[in-house]
Each structure stands twice: as C-alpha cells, then as structure tokens.
Amino acid sequence: EYRGIIFDLDGVIVDTAKFHYLAWRKLANDLGFDISLEQNEQLKGVSRVHSLEQILGWGDKTVSKPDFEALMVTKNEDYLARISGMSEEDLLPGVKKVLDFLTENGIPFSLGSASKNARPILKSLNIYDRFAAIVDGNDVQKAKPDPEVFLIASEKLSIKPEKCIVFEDSVAGIEAARRAKMLSVGIGEQEVLKDADHIFADFTQIEIDFIKKIVTK
C-alpha cells in the first residue's frame, strides 16, 4: 500500500553521523566540556542551529550572536574536512542494493534531510541524479521533529504522506515521520529507535522481500 520512499541522509545512506559527532565534540572540548554518546543521540537529525543551542546549554555557556555564527562556521569547516574525499565506496553497506531495486522497479524516492550539506554529499556518493526529489536543510523552516521536511518531500514526489515510507536513524526523524503520518523504518538500535514501525540495525539486515512487501507500484 506504500508507494514512495523518503531517505534521511546522515547515518542512513552514509556514515557521516560519526563525523558530525566528532566535530561537535571537538567544539565542546575547545569550550571546556564534553558530549556523551547519549547526548549525541539527541543531536541526530537536528539542524545545525538547534544542535549548537543544545550543546551550549549542556555546557552552560552563553555566547554572543556573532560568536554563535562563528562557532557554526568552525564546526561545519571541521566537519567538511573530515568528510572530504568521500566517494561511492562510502555508501553504507546494503544501501546500494536497495536503491538499485527501487530504481529498477520504478519506485520513486526522495531525500528528506536536515543537512545543508546534503546535495554535495549526494554528488560525491554519485547518487544525486537517482533521487526524484531532494529536500534538505536549505528548503525547510522547521527542523525535525517537525514533519515539514518529509511533507515537502511527499509533495515533491506527488505521493500522499500516508503512502510514504521514511528511513531514519534519529529519534527526531522517527517522531517527524510519525507526525507526518508516514510509515517509519528505523536504522540503528532498538532501544533508541523504539517508536519506529520497523527497526533494522543497518541496511544489510533489510531483505528486498521486506521492501517488496511494504511497497506497491
């Protein structure tokens, strides 16, 4: 009964989630505190601005507006340096198989990511042209868990939200999918993503049969 698919990017298609964490952690360390892996779960899927607000709150820091902007630039430069040289080989295991199946079967898919770096990343992974639509951090006003990014993606696919499936690795993204009335597939740990409709550790655990079962043309 589902007709279209929306993929999150970081931590779903490519393992950039760990580089976001390392870059934020360096920023926090430079300010004199640390971020735990548990805290990092709350940053996944969350926009750059909200992530920094959250982190400064954890470290009990207040900064001026210009300093806030400068910190975001520094983090992004650090992050981009960490992911430079990315290529097709950096697609997470099992992802290519699923994208190939969808393409071969004419099942449309879109990106629904909070990242402002999404387009160049998809280009380095050599999969940019395969998406029927791309919606990223440059296209939305409201960050996940708000459903806006997924609702725009469904509109661009011309598929009703109730007919869309979302693949997500973040708590905020699973919540956004729920609010958009979409079926959610969590990629990651059961304990973290417990609210997802289906959960898999990674794409190697997803059989093409599972996709066939939930998607109809």
Residue ranges in contact with ligand G6P by CB under 6 A: 10, 17, 20, 43-48, 51, 76, 113-117, 137, 170
3 or 48, CB closer to ligand G6P?
48
Determine which residue in the list 3, 4, 7, 11 makes contact with Mg ion, applying CB under 5 A.
11
Helices marked H in 42-147: 48-58, 65-83, 95-104, 118-124
Residue 170 in the binding site for Mg ion (CB under 5 A): yes
Residue 112 in the binding site for Mg ion (CB under 5 A): no
Measured CA to CA in angstroms, residue 69 lies from 49, 72, 126, 162, 196 at distances of 9, 5, 31, 38, 34
Structure tokens at 15: 């393992």
Q: Which does 48 bind (CB under 5 to 8 A by kind): ligand G6P, Mg ion, none?
A: ligand G6P
152 or 214, CB closer to ligand G6P?
152
**Active site (annotated) includes residue 8:** yes
**Active site (annotated) includes residue 10:** yes
Q: Do the Cβ atoms of 15 and 177 come closer than 8 Å?
A: no
Across the beta sheet with 109-112, the strand order is 133-135, 109-112, 4-7, 164-168, 183-187, 198-200
What residues act catalytically?
8, 10
Q: Which residues bind Mg ion (CB under 5 A)?
A: 8, 10-11, 169-170
